[in-house]
Amino acid sequence: MTSFADLTLREIRRDLHRHPEAGWKEFRTTALVAEELDALGFDLSLGPDAVNVAERLGVPDDDDIAAARERAKREGAPEEYLEYMDDVTGLVAEKRYGDGPTVGVRVDIDALERSEAMDDDHRPAREGFASTHPGEMHACGHDGHTAIGVGVARAFDEEGFDGTLKLFFQPAEEGGRGGKPMSETDHLDDVDALFALHLGLDEETGTIVGGYDRPLSNAKIDVTFEGEPAHAGGAPQEGRNALQAMSTAIQNLYAIPRHADGMTRINVGRVSADNAQNVICEEARMRVEVRGGDADLNDYMMAKAERVLKHAADMHEVDYETSLYGMTTTFENDQSMVDAVMAAAEEVDDVNQVCGRSPFGGSEDASFLIRKVQENGGVASYIGVGASNPAGHHTAYFDVEEESLDIAVDVVTESIRRVAGDLR
Amino acid sequence: MTSFADLTLREIRRDLHRHPEAGWKEFRTTALVAEELDALGFDLSLGPDAVNVAERLGVPDDDDIAAARERAKREGAPEEYLEYMDDVTGLVAEKRYGDGPTVGVRVDIDALERSEAMDDDHRPAREGFASTHPGEMHACGHDGHTAIGVGVARAFDEEGFDGTLKLFFQPAEEGGRGGKPMSETDHLDDVDALFALHLGLDEETGTIVGGYDRPLSNAKIDVTFEGEPAHAGGAPQEGRNALQAMSTAIQNLYAIPRHADGMTRINVGRVSADNAQNVICEEARMRVEVRGGDADLNDYMMAKAERVLKHAADMHEVDYETSLYGMTTTFENDQSMVDAVMAAAEEVDDVNQVCGRSPFGGSEDASFLIRKVQENGGVASYIGVGASNPAGHHTAYFDVEEESLDIAVDVVTESIRRVAGDLR
Amino acid sequence: MTSFADLTLREIRRDLHRHPEAGWKEFRTTALVAEELDALGFDLSLGPDAVNVAERLGVPDDDDIAAARERAKREGAPEEYLEYMDDVTGLVAEKRYGDGPTVGVRVDIDALERSEAMDDDHRPAREGFASTHPGEMHACGHDGHTAIGVGVARAFDEEGFDGTLKLFFQPAEEGGRGGKPMSETDHLDDVDALFALHLGLDEETGTIVGGYDRPLSNAKIDVTFEGEPAHAGGAPQEGRNALQAMSTAIQNLYAIPRHADGMTRINVGRVSADNAQNVICEEARMRVEVRGGDADLNDYMMAKAERVLKHAADMHEVDYETSLYGMTTTFENDQSMVDAVMAAAEEVDDVNQVCGRSPFGGSEDASFLIRKVQENGGVASYIGVGASNPAGHHTAYFDVEEESLDIAVDVVTESIRRVAGDLR
Amino acid sequence: MTSFADLTLREIRRDLHRHPEAGWKEFRTTALVAEELDALGFDLSLGPDAVNVAERLGVPDDDDIAAARERAKREGAPEEYLEYMDDVTGLVAEKRYGDGPTVGVRVDIDALERSEAMDDDHRPAREGFASTHPGEMHACGHDGHTAIGVGVARAFDEEGFDGTLKLFFQPAEEGGRGGKPMSETDHLDDVDALFALHLGLDEETGTIVGGYDRPLSNAKIDVTFEGEPAHAGGAPQEGRNALQAMSTAIQNLYAIPRHADGMTRINVGRVSADNAQNVICEEARMRVEVRGGDADLNDYMMAKAERVLKHAADMHEVDYETSLYGMTTTFENDQSMVDAVMAAAEEVDDVNQVCGRSPFGGSEDASFLIRKVQENGGVASYIGVGASNPAGHHTAYFDVEEESLDIAVDVVTESIRRVAGDLR
């Protein structure tokens, strides 16, 4: 039986790093965090109460989820919380310290589906806390984010602040699968200010970015074409060829016109069709991603892609289905929040560089939580916390300097106090 | 003013060879034949009375037709008949000789759109009767067919036969444009037996084929894609690209599945889109031909092609229109007619080889007239008349030996007498 | 430890039916047959001595082969012969009875990769000899063919004939993978006459077809496109997209022009590419099959396909490799052999219908052995043996009436005696 | 016989507007300007001496050029200069006023291939100076540019300046066809400073832009695919289908990967193939344009496009040829020149707004002349002169306010004086 109770943030981060759990499989992570926050007096909403179950995107097969849950149990996840979660991960935890505003902090908790470097050039390997789950790795710093979430809870345990704290431990950020379903609950309805944060992003430890703006919008869809098999030699005319439909679609997806208003992208990833050479293909599947410099451009690409898919299928008398695998949108930070973060950062000892707003570059599904808060009249900022990452995000050698964990907790708690005061 | 009155069949054929008229432009040909048959006592149905005007296929522009009509007038076409014809060519001529059955003879009268060889290796050039119309040439023997039609009328002028003769001088056989509209009149309703014929087909003069069977079915369609222009640099997303639609269509047309039941073909011929390089293409046009070993296979190809066109257009948000340029169907000869032709041929002096039924190989829109007669309970055969053509059909050096003209008249008239007797 | 020694042909067939082994996995089948023929005094060439190892097509992974060999051992294959075979299946067995000609009999021994029906409508299930190997089934009668091969050896054991008998137990006929490598040995060099045979083919038990002619030629190739990955959002221009190459290839493969000389086919079966949606595809794989009504048409399709593959790859700066998965060619039987079979069949009591030559329809890699014999001046025929199969070949309910086994042995042995006499 | 001698700039502009000459057809324009500058004492290099004849791009057919030359003669072009020009247009004129630096002024002189609005809403129509050449129109202000070139020569006629003036009257700017061949002569070798300018660009009369920077790079190529015809029904396998090659190319051209470094574009404009429906296409032609936000991006697109073309052709066993129709590159102005222009503009009475540097947006082949001067160590700027154009460039209603002509001359001459002084 594991417990975070006696562990430092660094130790928590390392424990999570050794036990990475990919999207919608974060049973051990959720349960251990829940146990810790429970002890700290938070009200907990777990799994089915933390996300809108019906709106989840890119959910793995039932078998995969069940196996992940079993693994979590085996690896010391407290069973009480596993039972509450049923087969859904994620956690919203709330604690009232004073009459002031409700301030949220969102951290993401999932790992990537990739293997970790195991040689001595890589500190996690050298120091014995590399992933013990082949094919899963915390290669984007979410282990640190989770630890920071715990750290913020601990930090307010003694003095609190004049308001209510709501911590959002979001599952399945990779692929943009968990942000939307977590935003489609009522947990954000009373949030006056929301902070999200990211470690690393190629900044040195000690650097704070007041607000990353305008992440790219994207959408990922899974497509299945369903035709009719036929013997390719004996009766080619009787087939309805799902593969011809898919190939026509691929050719035309890449040829969607560029847009003068900004950046657009499209890509087709996983492709499969699994019939014999002498059978007209009856089923073909693919994964598609579109991106846009903003939400309109993303919508443009998605609308064009859907038209291509529909008519490539119809052209070959083939049925098709699409399902959304994941998506992100974009946002702009509120200047008041950026100002609060920058002012807070100036107060933190180990911070030696404070930057203003900066474009985000990548995609991020905190965007859905941030927009929900802003639509309700609240304010938000997405903070950058430098962590001297020695290798790029998502690579086998990604790591973060752990001094960044305490810096992040200090910047976030100080920002919360300031914002709570401002909003009073 | 020209007249066929004093001309031999050979002279008529040479006059027509010098004045070839492509499909729907056969004003001079029709008018001169009409004048001759009028003199022989036939009842005439000309132009709008000879074909179903609304059903004509592949009709040239009004300007082209008007110019052809003017040319015919200039080149001696008797005006009386030109007036009757208005702007439509073709002729059905009928004469009753006795109480017996009605027997039809169909000949086609149009020239090809190609230029003729003008060197001395080519008899029409050497002997001064090559085409005087650049870009038009009787390269398929229809000049001879027309003369034979006149010859049959002349042959019965003295003795007649026990029945009614109906001569069908069909326009626009090339491209399969005139057969269908001539079949969609009531002229065939009372025809008990129909003969059609073709000179040449690589057989020697003196050879008669009792019946060519199962010509290929085909259909030709003209397609126009209509999109929306846009500046390719400044606003590519605002275009609706007719050229992308057309290219997608072409790729998929050639990829229509082969059919296990027999031969299928598809081809795209003329293609055009005429905008500047920096403008998203707003209009693109193409000509498509499908073929099938039989009518079902042709229908299979056409249905598949239409599906491809529709969804290639829809995929690119482009409108499209198709119009039928021409079509042919297939038929089987009636054995009784083939037998009659073979028996008749044995009686004709200059015939030295009589063959039975043979597959046709190419396409022929007499098919529509033949099927109409057969659907009404009548019988039909498509006769081959060898003419020692020195070069392939449709080539610049095509020619026929003119001895074949009298042979054809003798075989046809003798066949008619036999059939009229049989059917009594 | 299993042994065929005391089993009837029917029992042998049922034992094999219960233990089906797919192509290149026929370890148990080969070993049991070898043991039986060894006891009958045949000289044996097993595995690496029976086929040209380097020329084998469509060989499974080493692991799969090793597992199949282990299974054979577990299921009673005599180890002595397994050891000789190493990791290659197949057997050529030879026995001299007299000074006369060498006569070959080729039977194929592999099962299909498909599951068998397990309900009582299916005799093998009802009577307890259905496949015990999920995913493998003798659904094409090769279990019977193998038993017939043993039966012929037994039949000559008492009286022999005036010549030498060579039995070819060929692996991996399904997919056309074993015929070519077995033909590329010297075992066929001294064969004066070769018989191959097939049970079923929708003929009733008691029917013999003297010779199936002109099977279709086909070729199956596996294609791998190797490009370069890149982040689809961050650096799309740095990728070399294996999937765009493959899609371009597929579109153009299906659009290879039809051929006027006869039937051609092309199909793409299994397709896969397995990268994330946000990564430009670095590797894509597919399986392609071409067919032709004859070997030239097959070569036409293959040459066109190779050109398409090469330039689709080059267009996208992608490398590609092809490997031949399997192939068949075509042949014509020798009339003398067909005559011998028909005369022999007339002598066999349970034969009640004897047919002459008939087109084969499908594909068959005995073609390579037959052509090799014919090229060396020998003669060959491919015999059909009716077996009242209740369901089509390759379906889950395929079965053969076992009376056909003895009929086949009688027809083959009588044919051999006749041919041996004729050729003396 | 026309002459500019007694005409004001406004009258010259209107005369040119009535007689627009598209690229490489500017015989009348060149000859009349030559006559005027000759009278003003300039040394003239005409036609073959003004541009590198072999490097001309997008040159019309010989017949079209000859017709344009005839038209020029008919419409009053002085023959002496026509003779010098032979069949090449363009003019470089030089005059030495003092020892100071050599300063160049480049103006473009060609019209667009489009028709002009002829209704009274359009001043040229209303006031009687609309185009008398159907299908040609000065819809981009080059008539004004030419007049300004003459105006600068006249302005220095009295006082001169301390240096040498070189006027470049460049043909065929539309399509980017004349800039490159004019830059590939030695006329620019001694130019110390070069001004180019453009009227309109949606700025009001009285506005001067000191320097338009970074026009887009583009390249336009004409592509011809040459295959082999064959009868689509009788021998489809014998064709080498130029249209399949072109369609494959088009599909893949539009699918060239987007580039993360900036804007890229591709478009296919005019497309043609002109064969019958039943003939496999032997020749297909198209026009392609690529663009890039900078020269590297343009090169990226061109390299990708060439690869697509090559392998689309090879895939279908088709030959292909490309020829460059036109191209532009990009540049940055020299700040010293921008400063000089801005300072000069401040001095000119009718100038009421002076702007600094601004991105160009479109493409411009003055880029080649500017880069040549800069590569030789000289300086350059591309000046914008507002002209309250009532309708967009290249539209049927484009016009310029003619007050802008004198403003332009004043700004340019004052700029030249300043630069000549600075460079001394």
CB pairs under 8 A between C and D: 66
Q: Side chain identity at B207, as an amino acid letter?
A: T
Please report which helix (H) or strand (E) contains residue B421, including its range.
helix B403-423
* pLDDT reported for residue A72: 98
CA D352/CA D361 separation, integer angstroms: 24
- Flag if C265 and B258 touch (Cβ within 8 Å): yes
DSSP states of C269-323: EEEEE---TTB---EEEEEEEEEESSHHHHHHHHHHHHHHHHHHHHHTT-EEEEE
Q: Side chain identity at B110, as an amino acid letter?
A: D
Any idea what the Cα angle at residue C413 is, between residues C408 and C415, rounded to 5°?
95
- Flag if D255 and C239 touch (Cβ within 8 Å): no
Mean pLDDT of chain B: 96
Cβ neighbours of residue C261 closer than 8 Å, sequence gap 6 or more: C293, C294, C296, C297, D237
**Residues B141 and B393 sit within 8 Å (Cβ to Cβ):** yes
CA A238/CA A132 separation, integer angstroms: 51
Q: What is the average per-residue pLDDT within A266-275?
A: 93
**Residues C28 and C77 sit within 8 Å (Cβ to Cβ):** yes
Residue of A nearest to B249 (CA): A315
Residue C113, burial from CB neighbour count under 10 angstroms (0-12, 13-18, 19+): middle
Q: Is the pLDDT of residue D78 over 90?
A: yes
**Which of C:327-386 have CB within 8 Å of B?**
none
**Residues C151 and C34 sit within 8 Å (Cβ to Cβ):** no
Strand order in the sheet with A193-199: A43-46, A91-96, A164-170, A102-108, A193-199, A379-385, A207-213, A353-359
Does any CB of chain D come closer than 8 Å to the CB of residue B267? Answer: yes
**Residues B195 and B104 sit within 8 Å (Cβ to Cβ):** yes
Does any CB of chain B come closer than 8 Å to the CB of residue D275? Answer: yes
Q: What is the average per-residue pLDDT within B119-145?
A: 96
Percent of chain B surpassing pLDDT 70: 100
CB pairs under 8 A between B and D: 118
- The partner residue sitting opposite A267, judged by closest CB among C216, C270, C278, is C278
Please report which helix (H) or strand (E) contains residue D168, including its range.
strand D164-170
Confidence of residue B424 (pLDDT cuts 50, 70, 90): confident
**Residues C213 and C360 sit within 8 Å (Cβ to Cβ):** yes
Q: Which residues on B lie below 8 Å from A252 (Cβ)?
A: 244, 248, 315
Closest by CA position to A298, among listed A266, A254, A333, A267: A266
Predicted confidence pLDDT, tens digits, chain C (424 residues): 689 999 999 999 999 999 999 999 999 999 999 999 999 999 999 999 999 999 999 999 999 999 999 999 999 999 999 999 999 999 999 999 999 999 999 999 999 998 999 999 999 999 999 999 999 999 999 999 999 999 999 999 988 999 999 999 999 999 999 999 999 999 999 999 999 999 999 999 999 999 999 998 999 999 999 999 888 988 899 999 999 999 999 999 999 999 999 999 999 999 999 888 888 999 999 999 999 988 999 999 999 999 999 999 999 999 999 999 999 999 999 999 999 999 999 999 999 999 999 998 789 999 999 999 999 999 999 999 999 999 989 889 999 999 999 999 999 999 999 999 888 7
pLDDT tens-digit series, residues B335-369: 999 999 999 999 999 999 999 999 987 899 999 99
Q: Is the pLDDT of residue D395 over 70?
A: yes
Percent of chain B surpassing pLDDT 90: 91
**Residues B42 and B82 sit within 8 Å (Cβ to Cβ):** no
**Residues D43 and D95 sit within 8 Å (Cβ to Cβ):** yes
Specify the residue for token string 């043996």: C385
Residue of D nearest to C235 (CA): D260
Q: Is the pLDDT of residue B197 over 70?
A: yes
Does any CB of chain C come closer than 8 Å to the CB of residue B3? Answer: no
Q: Which residues on D lie below 8 Å from B278 (Cβ)?
A: 267, 269, 289
CA C78/CA C108 separation, integer angstroms: 20
Return the DSSP state at A391.
S
Q: Is the pLDDT of residue A220 over 70?
A: yes
Cβ neighbours of residue D67 closer than 8 Å, sequence gap 6 or more: none
Mean pLDDT of chain A: 96
Q: Which residues on C lie below 8 Å from B289 (Cβ)?
A: none
- Flag if D307 and C300 touch (Cβ within 8 Å): no
Q: Is the pLDDT of residue B231 over 90?
A: no
Q: Which residues on C lie below 8 Å from A270 (Cβ)?
A: 273-277
Does any CB of chain C come closer than 8 Å to the CB of residue B74? Answer: no
Residue of D nearest to A249 (CA): D251
Confidence of residue B325 (pLDDT cuts 50, 70, 90): very high
* pLDDT reported for residue A130: 97
* pLDDT reported for residue B341: 97
Closest by CA position to C105, among listed C156, C174, C175: C156
Q: Is the pLDDT of residue B1 over 80?
A: no
- Flag if A363 and C233 touch (Cβ within 8 Å): yes
Tell me whether strands A164-170 and A102-108 are parallel, antiparallel or unpaired: parallel
Cα separations in angstroms, C314 against C58, C307, C317, D227 = 26, 11, 5, 20
pLDDT tens-digit series, residues D221-251: 999 999 998 888 888 999 999 999 999 999 9
CA A200/CA D61 separation, integer angstroms: 62
**Residues D303 and D290 sit within 8 Å (Cβ to Cβ):** no
CA D10/CA D7 separation, integer angstroms: 8
**Residues B400 and B387 sit within 8 Å (Cβ to Cβ):** yes
Q: Is the pLDDT of residue B15 over 80?
A: yes
Tell me whether strands D379-385 and D207-213 are parallel, antiparallel or unpaired: antiparallel
Any idea what the Cα angle at residue A298 is, between residues A294 and A301, rounded to 5°?
145
C-alpha torsion sign, points B402, B403, B408, B414: positive
CA D211/CA D208 separation, integer angstroms: 9
Strand order in the sheet with D193-199: D43-46, D91-96, D164-170, D102-108, D193-199, D379-385, D207-213, D353-359
* pLDDT reported for residue C1: 67
Q: How far is D228 from chain B (nearest CA, A)?
A: 13
> Coil, strand, or helix at residue A1?
coil
* pLDDT reported for residue C88: 98
Q: Side chain identity at A140, as an amino acid letter?
A: C
CA A263/CA D212 separation, integer angstroms: 24
pLDDT tens-digit series, residues D202-225: 999 999 999 999 998 999 999 999
- Flag if D277 and B284 touch (Cβ within 8 Å): no
Q: Side chain identity at D332, as an amino acid letter?
A: E
pLDDT tens-digit series, residues B150-185: 999 999 998 899 999 999 999 999 999 999 999 999
CA A364/CA A372 separation, integer angstroms: 14
**Which of D:279-338 have CB within 8 Å of B?**
279-281, 284, 287-289, 291, 325
Entry pTM? 0.88
Confidence of residue A92 (pLDDT cuts 50, 70, 90): very high
DSSP states of C131-187: -SSTT-B--SSHHHHHHHHHHHHHHHHHH--SSEEEEEEE--TTTT-SHHHHHTSST
What is the token pair recorded at C323? 């490997």
Return the DSSP state at D293.
S
Please report which helix (H) or strand (E) contains residue A403, including its range.
helix A403-423
Closest by CA position to D324, among listed D178, D113, D107, D135: D178
* pLDDT reported for residue C276: 83
